[in-house]
Amino acid sequence: MLTYTIRRLIFAVPTLLIIAAIIFFLLELAPGDPMANVPLTVPSEVKEQMRQALGLGEPAPIRFVLWLRQFFWIEPLNVVDALVGTSFAEGELRIISWQNRSPVFITIAERIPQTLWVVGTSYLVAIAIAIPIGIYSAYRQYSMFDQAGTFVTMIGFSVPPFFSGVLVILIFAVQLRWFPSIYDTTLVVNSWDAFVMQLKQMFLPVMVLALQITSQLSRFQRASVLDNLGQDYVRTARAVGLPEKRVILVHVLRNSLLPVVTVIALYVPAIFSGAIITEQIFKVNGIGQLLITALQANDLPMVQTLTFIFAVLIVVFNLLADLAYGILDPRIRYD
């Protein structure tokens, strides 16, 4: 297991480097110029100095290496500095946004909590709903509940988030006026009322995101329980007279959760991409919205860093999923 982990970790490094290179050189083709907004009256040598200050003086391959150094070395140092109070990263050039000329990671750090709140809550809600539904549908296969569940999950699976978002806004915000359609990030939760308000404004985005994940997860859970119900150990457990509750909730549940745990880990990056759309609909100013505004404003360092963060998420969670499967299921031996 350890050698497998190390092998996978070593293999992840070139993957990430190649992805970084793909993103970097794709963005190299972009026509955008960070100096486009600088007035024409500014003399060209000053412009040249401004370019240097943004780290644009070198040819592309060198800038790529510099960017890697900034991402993997200088930015972590800055985090250490901020936490411990040291000054390792003093005087080093950080990744600077072209939009507001401040370090990219400061903006990202401001935006991440909102995304994590919405994404995290919806994921937990989805897991909490999907697993019982999946188990019950499988246990009563082809019953009314199962038929209805399958139909609803098929709908949840097919209706794209940008339409389900619009629909819930129309129903709950425009018609019924129960929940606000816009997520107010300036809200500070310091009283009961503010907490209720926070819950209310999170309701719609969480619902939209959770609907999609719930339908995917409960399909997996159902299939997995169905697989297990036919196994010999279930018959044995029933034959020795274990109560049905124990058979299902202890034996079948534990075994059927194995593949589902992997799927849960694998979907984490996907839900972050899904959040790009949901944040756009409900005007949550998280990292998804940051990516869209950065794209529209031609802020390439920001786009590059954010896209790469998404790539890191995918690689890391793929690795975690494989490792979790190996740890949880003793039948799986990788080496």
Partner 1 sequence: MTDPHATEPLTPQGTGAAVVTGPGAVGSTEAMAVPVAARSQWWDVWDQFRTHKGALFGAAVFLGICLMVIVGPMLWPLDPTATNMRARYEPISWAHPMGTDRLGRDTFARVMAGGRISLGVGMTAMLLSLVLGTLIGMMAGYFKRLDGPLMRFTDLFLALPLLPLLLVMVILFREPLAARFGIETGIFILVVSAIGVTSWMQTARIVRGDVLTLKEREFVLAARSIGTPSGRIIARHILPNVLSPVMVSATLGIATAIITESTLSFLGLGFPPDFPTWGRLLFDGVPLLERNPGLAVWPGLFISLVVLSINYVGDGLRDALDPRIRGR
Footprint of partner 1 on this chain (CB under 8 A)?
15, 18-19, 22-23, 26-27, 29-31, 154-155, 157-160, 162-163, 166-167, 169-170, 174, 269, 273, 276-277, 280-281, 291-292, 295-296, 303, 306-307, 310-311, 313-315, 318
Q: Say if residues 329 and 258 touch (Cβ distance below 8 Å).
A: yes
DSSP calls for 223-262:
HHHHHHHTSHHHHHHHHTT--HHHIIIIIIHHHHHHHHHH
Q: Using alpha carbons only, what angle is made at residue 302 by residues 295 and 122, rounded to the nearest 5 degrees?
A: 80
| CA 316 – CA 27 distance, rounded (Å) | 23
Closest contact distance (angstroms) between CB of 286 and partner 1 is 14
Q: Using alpha carbons only, what angle is made at residue 14 by residues 319 and 5, rounded to the nearest 5 degrees?
A: 35
Q: Which is nearer to partner 1, 18 or 124 (CB)?
A: 18
Closest contact distance (angstroms) between CB of 163 and partner 1 is 4
Q: Say if residues 35 and 47 touch (Cβ distance below 8 Å).
A: yes
Q: Which is nearer to partner 1, 78 or 262 (CB)?
A: 262
Q: Which is nearer to partner 1, 78 or 307 (CB)?
A: 307
Closest contact distance (angstroms) between CB of 317 and partner 1 is 10
Q: Which is nearer to partner 1, 261 or 309 (CB)?
A: 309
Closest contact distance (angstroms) between CB of 139 and partner 1 is 20
Closest contact distance (angstroms) between CB of 332 and partner 1 is 19
Closest contact distance (angstroms) between CB of 249 and partner 1 is 29
The residue type of 315 is: V
Helices (runs of H) and strands (runs of E) counted in the chain: 13, 0
Residues in contact with 119: Cβ distance below 8 Å, sequence separation at least 6, in sequence order: 209, 271, 272, 275
Q: Which is nearer to partner 1, 213 or 252 (CB)?
A: 213
166 vs 44, 162, 169, 209, CA distance in Å?
49, 6, 5, 13
| CA 119 – CA 62 distance, rounded (Å) | 37
